[in-house]
A and B are shown apart, each in its own frame.
Chain A
Amino acid sequence: MRGDTGVSDSGHAVGGCRWISRADGLRWLAPLLVGAVLIGCQVEKEPIRIGFLGGLSGRLSDLGEAGRNGVQFAVDEANEAGGIKGQRIELLVRDDAQDPQKANAALDELIAARVELVIGPMTSAMAEVVAPAAQRAGLILISPTVTARKFYDLDDGFFLMMASAYAEARLSAEYHFGEGRARRVAVIHDTRNRAYTESWLAEFTSAFQQLGGEVSPHPIESGSDVDLDTPVRQALARRPDVVLMIAAAVDTARLAQKVRERDDKVTLAASQWATTERLIELGGRHVEGLISHNYFDRRSTTEEMRKLRSAYVERFRREPGFAGVAAYDAARVAFAALERRAAGQNLRASLLANGPFPGADGNITFNRSGDSDRVPRVTVVREGQFVTLR
């Protein structure tokens, strides 16, 4: 059946049909009943439910959309291969809209629908809201994209697909100080996703200052109508070698444009958050040369990655990007852990014990705290494409 992709918000299952034989005198009714049963009854095994939670509306929906597509792609792929131990997977998608209230309500809905686990959330701000609630409900969260350092090294049910912002920020600092020969960096950071941006900023500042560089922070509060000229002007006034933006793609594109309007020499850099495919759509040539980082190698020639990218592009008409790949990996890790789970073993134990799990760009393992430590890679925007440098 083509229409059934396994995505549904139904909380009730279509169970096996039973009908009870009545008195012998009613034999002549049997053909009728059989007919009705054949029309109305669709015997189906109870599916395994997986939740996805991410921002699918509002200014940051690019990250959520990529994550949702990655997970949905993995679900469809697994269902085509026969599901998990013969059970279909049903994906329940919920939008947190980057709003704490909506996020909590969405998580409650997923808990009520008795999902096995949730892939998400996609931002650290939302993780701050839902992680404690999920922990209380005993629900496993696997976030593809959250990297704020506060979520690491905790003995909880919150699994992280990427290494902490610390690793990325340190790599960034080392790259700019070393290969970029930068000594002054102006950081424009969005205070909306504070959990992430401030963690990133702190890690970067500490690392860059340790190397001997100078960092000037310039906070902005993103929104639908924000004055970007002022923070950019202030950042450039210090004549930095690098303007580093810790913001979403839509804001980074505009900030890059504003920087380039005033200075076409300064090096542009951004945290991974900005590096969705929307950055290039929205930033155009203004983001050319922008240095960033990805937790997967865009040069990867593995068969898995090649297949994923071509199928993903054909279906969603867009590259999967780091969020799409990470979400796809997160879903596959979840399915493998469910598949490998021994009798009586909970999912958390399975995730911790049954690795390594297959990923599009190599195997994935979690440490004892359920955190991954994949090495980030340096990327640059070149001719409207993200290119991995090293």
Chain B
Amino acid sequence: MTIFTRFRSIWQTDARHLRTSLVILMLLGTLLPFVLVGTGFALLGTPVILDEERRHVVSEAETMARHVELVLAGVERRLAQLVPGAEQAGSQSAQLLEAAFAEGDFLAIYLVDRDGRVLQAVLPPERAKSATNLRGADLSQNPLFRLEREAQSRTWSDRYISPVTGHATVGLAVPAGRNVLVGEMRPDFADGMVAIAADELRQPVFIVDRAGETVASRLVAESERLRNWAGVFPSPEAAGEGPNLRVRIGGIDYEAGLARSAKLGWTFVTTTPAGLANPRLRSALLVWGAGIAASLLLAAILAPLWAARLNAPVRALMRRTRELARSHFSGAPVRGHIIELNSLSGDIEKMAAAIQQRQRELEHSEERLRATLQTVEQLNTELEGRVERRTLDLARANRELSEALASLTQAQDELARNERLAALGKLFGNVADELERPVGSGVMAVSLLRDEIRRFGSEQAKGSGVATLAHFLRRLEEDASVAESSLTRTAEMIASFRAVAADTSGGQRSRFDLSIAVREAVVPVRPVFERNGHSVQVDVAPGIMMDSFPAALAGVLSSLLSNAIMHAFAGRAGGRLSLTAAPAGDGQVCLLVSDDGVGIAPELTSRIFDPFLRPDGERTGAGLSLHGVWHAVTAVLGGTISVASARGRGTTFRIMLPLSAPQTGSR
């Protein structure tokens, strides 16, 4: 298998060695003609050989038939010699029979009358009793006797059972006047006859009678001789049958040649193995196979040698070419026995010379190139120096620029710090302004108190009366109340600052009804409104449930109401304020706080929620309330607040709140 695999790999490869190609070429060149011619022979010659063989067996069968007929004619003549004496049964005829019998071949000779009765019988001495038994026997139903009677001529029997011995044999009946002379052949007679007639044949031979029984055979196994061939070999009368047929004997297929003897009524069969088993075909195929094998062997031996011989100058040429490729021009040119290769070698040498010439020219131009290259290199160096200088300049400029940028950034930072300080200063200023008045009032009150106490002391020393004491106490109370008022004011402011500085306290989160929360927020301020002649109207539908910070909301509303009293209705009576709320969808509620007061100056509207805003230069109040409102709405309640106002036409604060305050406010 490996040789086939190797062959396939060589066959399928793209490039192969010259030697391999040559070997393949020679092998194919040797084998192909043989294979083609052999196949042609196998395909065309086989039928011819088999046909010849078929004709040959027929002629063999015919030869055998003629031979047997000749032998049997001799036997007939010997029996016919007895006819004259046999026409009359008697002692004379008995003697004649004895004489004929003595010549051999016959097992029995007997004379039968026209009715089939045995008149005389001659048998070997050891069958004397059988002879006695036979005499008088009626053979009128005997097939041989009946055949003879029908033909009225010399007749040979089919294989039949001898009336004498009971054995199967063949017999001859010869007419002898009114009687019939019957000769019964020895059982081995027929086989002996075939052995002689078919002496040269090496394949099964048969003589088959009309009933398909084997009369005689040669080279046939006993079991085959026992067969009845009636169904195989057509009977002599069967028309339209060719002389050839294929027959299976002992498990082997044979081509059989048939010849029929009209005289004997027997069929002569000679055979030759059919198909590839045929010796002639087999030897022809063997010669062809041997031819292929021999040529393959020869090619296998010669092809590599021849290929090596052809390959040697090619390899030398390859070596020489490789040397030239490495510019080794000194070697000797290759010379061999193949003209084409010598010519190729010459061409290669010429090419090498041309290459040498080119190489010299190349070297020359290379020198020039080198000189040019040196100049270029110098220029290059100068250019590099210039580039380097420029690069240094650029770096310096860059550095300066960076420094300028750094100082600029610093200045910017300082500016920002200054701004912050300024804002802080302003803030502190504002805070100081806020605290200055109440604290100053307080200090003055306390200072007055101390003066009063001192004056009272001196008065007391002078012994002043009760009037003095009462006056003192009245003054003491006034001053103390002023101080208390101032301190209380201060404390409120500080609390308010803390509220700005820290987150506004929203108190506890809870669930509540908005209408209730709004009403509760209005309750504490309502007396103030009423005292000043204003009115508050609440219009909030009950049932708006909120989850939020009620304290923060109360603070917001309280601041807005206070803001309205202080600013919107300042200096007038009969102001109206309304509080309305309604769901705004999307989990929101809209709360409007509207008044019909003086309104807000347009320049203040945008800053109304800034801390420390003081409208109209007003100096009372902490100035934190609206900023606190904004902070509480946005940071605690999670809503938005906006203001709409026009001078003289009142102000409306619009607060949008979520029904559920955010869990994580900006607290």
Contacts and interface: CB of A to CB of B under 8 A. Distances in A.
A61 to B, nearest CB: 6
Interface stretch (B70-78, B136-144, B471-479): B136-144
Nearest to A12: B251
B242 to A, nearest CB: 10
B412 interface: no
Given A25-B7, A72-B228, A72-B231, A3 B138 contact: no
A318 B7 contact: no
A40 to B, nearest CB: 5
B8 A282 contact: no
Q: Is the interface of B mostly helix, strand, loop or mixed?
A: mixed
B539 to A, nearest CB: 104
Given A35-B43, A225-B127, A250 B227 contact: no
A282 B42 contact: no
B224 interface: yes
Given A23-B5, A76-B231, A315-B231, A10 B250 contact: yes
A3 B42 CA distance: 26
Contacts of B129: 225-228
B142 A5 contact: no
Contact of A32 (B42, B134, B141): B42
Contact of A224 (B8, B143, B165, B212): B165
Contact of A318 (B168, B211, B226, B256): B211
B231 A9 contact: no
B643 interface: no
Contact of B142 (A11, A227, A284, A318): A284
Interface in B44-99: 46
Interface string A28-50: 10011001100110100000000
B141 A9 contact: no
A3 B226 contact: no
Contacts of B128: 225
A61 B250 contact: no
A92 interface: yes
Interface in B116-168: 116, 126-130, 132-134, 136-143, 158, 161, 163, 165-168
B222 A224 contact: no
A27 to B, nearest CB: 11
A278 interface: yes
A255 B227 CA distance: 31
A315 B7 CA distance: 62
B127 to A, nearest CB: 5
A254 B5 CA distance: 81
B275 interface: yes
Contact of A60 (B4, B127, B166): B166
B133 A254 contact: yes
A224 B130 contact: yes
Contact of B245 (A3, A8, A225): A3
A179 interface: no
B256 A3 contact: yes
A257 B117 CA distance: 11
B42 to A, nearest CB: 6
Interface in A314-345: 315-318
A253 B39 contact: no
A95 B46 CA distance: 40
B230 interface: yes
B246 A5 contact: no
Contact of B143 (A9, A58, A281, A384): A281
A58 B161 CA distance: 9
B248 interface: yes
A7 interface: yes
Interface residues of B, number: 62
Contact of B248 (A4, A23, A56): A4
B218 interface: no
A221 interface: no
B251 A282 contact: no
A23 B138 CA distance: 78
Interface in A35-86: 35-36, 39-40, 42, 56-62, 65, 68-69, 72, 76
Interface string B5-41: 1011001000000000000000000000001000100
Contacts of A76: 231
B427 interface: no
Contacts of A61: 161, 167-168
B251 A8 contact: yes
B355 interface: no
Contacts of B226: 56, 68, 93-95
A8 B250 contact: yes
A284 B5 contact: no
A95 B222 contact: yes
A261 interface: yes
A23 B116 contact: no
Nearest to B285: A36
A280 interface: yes
A122 B246 CA distance: 32
A258 interface: yes
Nearest to B276: A40
Contact of B223 (A26, A59, A65, A94): A94
Interface in B151-210: 158, 161, 163, 165-168, 210
A390 interface: no
B61 to A, nearest CB: 15
Interface string A224-241: 111111000000000000
Contacts of B246: 1-4
Nearest to B160: A281
A22 interface: yes
A225 B132 CA distance: 10
Contacts of A254: 133-134, 137
Contacts of A3: 232, 245-248, 253-254, 256
A189 interface: no
- Most chain A CB within 10 A, of B39, B143, B166, is at B166
A220 B247 CA distance: 45
A11 B223 CA distance: 12
A283 interface: yes
- Most chain B CB within 10 A, of A59, A94, A261, is at A59
Given A9-B223, A65-B228, A282-B141, 11 more contacts: A25-B4, A28-B35, A35-B39, A40-B276, A61-B161, A72-B231, A92-B223, A94-B223, A95-B226, A282-B161, A284-B138
16 contacts: A3-B248, A4-B247, A8-B248, A9-B251, A11-B251, A36-B276, A39-B275, A59-B165, A59-B166, A72-B228, A93-B226, A229-B132, A283-B138, A284-B142, A315-B230, A317-B158
**A-B complex: 5 closest residue pairs judged by Cβ atoms:** A10-B251, A284-B138, A3-B247, A59-B166, A23-B4
Interface of A: 1-5, 7-12, 14, 22-26, 28, 31-32, 35-36, 39-40, 42, 56-62, 65, 68-69, 72, 76, 92-95, 109, 224-229, 248, 250-251, 253-254, 257-258, 261, 278, 280-286, 315-318, 384
